[in-house]
A and B are shown apart, each in its own frame.
Chain A
Amino acid sequence: MTHGYNPIKTMSRKASDNKYLHKDFHLSMNLLMEYIYKNFGKDKLIDYLKQYTMAYHKPLYEQIQSGNIEALSSYFRDLYEKEEWPIKITQEEDSIVIEQHACPGISHIKSKGEKPISLYVETYKTVYTTLCENTPFEYELVFFDDETGACIQLFKRKEKLK
């Protein structure tokens, strides 16, 4: 059997043929944040993350505003499942604790030999603090390791603080 020269290579795929998981987007996100930080400073980077949160998370924000803690925990379960990242979520009646041994973004950026922006923590702190603004919940980043992104996050119902 002889193999003739074939000058044409082709590939066709439907969206349903693959799982949507392009980890290199973490690199692009890091570059975008670095660009804003380098050119406009910390306050503008935080403004950008707030603007993104209010635009993208609007449906989740509305659910949280109505006091729906279940919406919050199912958002995180779904998010980390899609990201294929191990995480521990402890949900109680008025609180959710999220623990992770490392951040998928920081881990991927470092695995590619790149350096996460020094303010990478703001993708947690600013995003989730903004998400909880004017809702019955508050967000606390209990612990965050800048090197690995290992962290403990706490969402709790404000009324229970009194």
Chain B
Amino acid sequence: MISCTEFIPAYSEGFKFLEQMGGRKEVEKFWGELSEIYLKDSLLKLMMEKGLDGCYEYWSHALNEEAADFTMTLDKDKGEFRIDMHRCPSKGKLLELKHMTPYHSYCDHCEALYKPVAEKAGFKYKSDVDCDNARCSLVIKKK
């Protein structure tokens, strides 16, 4: 059994395995499919129905369950949703596992998953990632 608490190392090893099979192209193909399938009924649906409030709702649930260290802000007047991830629980966990080497571009999967969804819902997505320190920020705003 691979517990949901062990998923992140399995995910990272999965990216490595896919890269061994077909290079970076294969990893990106997987991220593309995952974005479409996994986020279709969750984030995409919420954003189509509720706009940036949908982002707030989606990440309120996910980031609390993932025990993330974050600040999330929705500014309706500015038409902007923002996450400041002070310590990413996924990359942070990988950095703590000294016996494992994380997939070299592990943090790229977030943008690969979320950006197409935000754009499909009619928003702009921008992220700034400090992968070595498990920190990042992302902004989703009206086009």
Cβ of A4 under 8 Å from chain B: no
Give the nearest-CB partner of A100 in chain B.
B1
CB interface residues, B 9-26, toward A, < 8 Å: 9-11, 13-14, 16-18, 21
Would you call B60 an interface residue if the criterion is a C-beta within 8 Å of the partner chain's C-beta atoms? Answer: yes
Q: Are B3 and A18 in contact (CB under 8 A)?
A: no
Does the CB pair A29–B2 fall under 8 Å? yes
When A and B form their complex, what is the total count of cross-chain residue pairs whose Cβ atoms lie within 8 Å? 148
Using known A-B contacts A21-B65, A36-B17, determine if residue A28 contacts B34 with beta carbons closer than 8 Å: yes
A55: Cβ under 8 A from any B Cβ: yes
Are B21 and A44 in contact, with the CB atoms below 8 A?
A: yes
> Quick one: CB contact mask for A16-45 with B, threshold 8 Å, 1 for yes?
111111111111110110011001100010
The residue on B at minimum CB distance from A33 is B14
Complex: how many Å from CA A82 to CA B67? Answer: 13
Task: Please tell me which stretch of A7-15, A64-72, A154-162 contacts chain B, meaning at least 4 of its Cβ atoms lie within 8 angstroms of it.
Answer: A7-15
Q: Interface digits, B80-105 against A, CB 8 Å rule (1 contact, 0 not)?
A: 00000001010010000101100000
Q: Which residue of B lies closest to A127 (CB)?
A: B2
Complex CA gap A35/B13 in Å reads 14
Which of B68-76, B116-124, B125-133, B135-143 binds A? B68-76
**Is there an interface contact between A56 and B10, defined as CB atoms closer than 8 Å?**
yes
Q: Please report the total number of A residues contacting B with Cβ < 8 Å.
A: 50
Q: Produce 1/0 per residue, A92-106, CB < 8 A to B.
A: 000000000001110
Of B5, B56, B87, the contact of A82 (CB 8 Å cutoff): B5
| Interface residue A88 (Cβ < 8 Å from any Cβ of B) | no
Q: Which of B3, B34, B38, B60 has the most CB of A within 10 A?
A: B3
Query: Does residue B112 face the partner (Cβ distance < 8 Å to A)?
Result: no
A15 near B65 with CB under 8 A, answer no
- Within the assembled complex, what's the spacing in Å between the Cα atoms of A8 and B56? 11
Assembly CA distance A132 to B71 (angstroms): 43
Given contacts A17-B64, A20-B89, A52-B10, 17 further A-B contacts (CB under 8 A): A11-B71, A13-B68, A15-B68, A17-B67, A18-B67, A22-B4, A25-B4, A29-B4, A32-B30, A52-B14, A55-B9, A79-B1, A79-B3, A82-B3, A82-B5, A105-B3, A105-B4
Can you spell out 14 A-B residue pairs with CB atoms less than 8 angstroms apart?
A10-B71, A11-B60, A11-B72, A12-B70, A13-B69, A20-B65, A22-B7, A25-B7, A31-B34, A44-B21, A51-B16, A58-B99, A104-B4, A123-B1
Residues of B at the A interface (CB closer than 8 Å) are 1-11, 13-14, 16-18, 21, 30, 33-34, 37-38, 56, 60, 62-78, 87, 89, 92, 97, 99-100
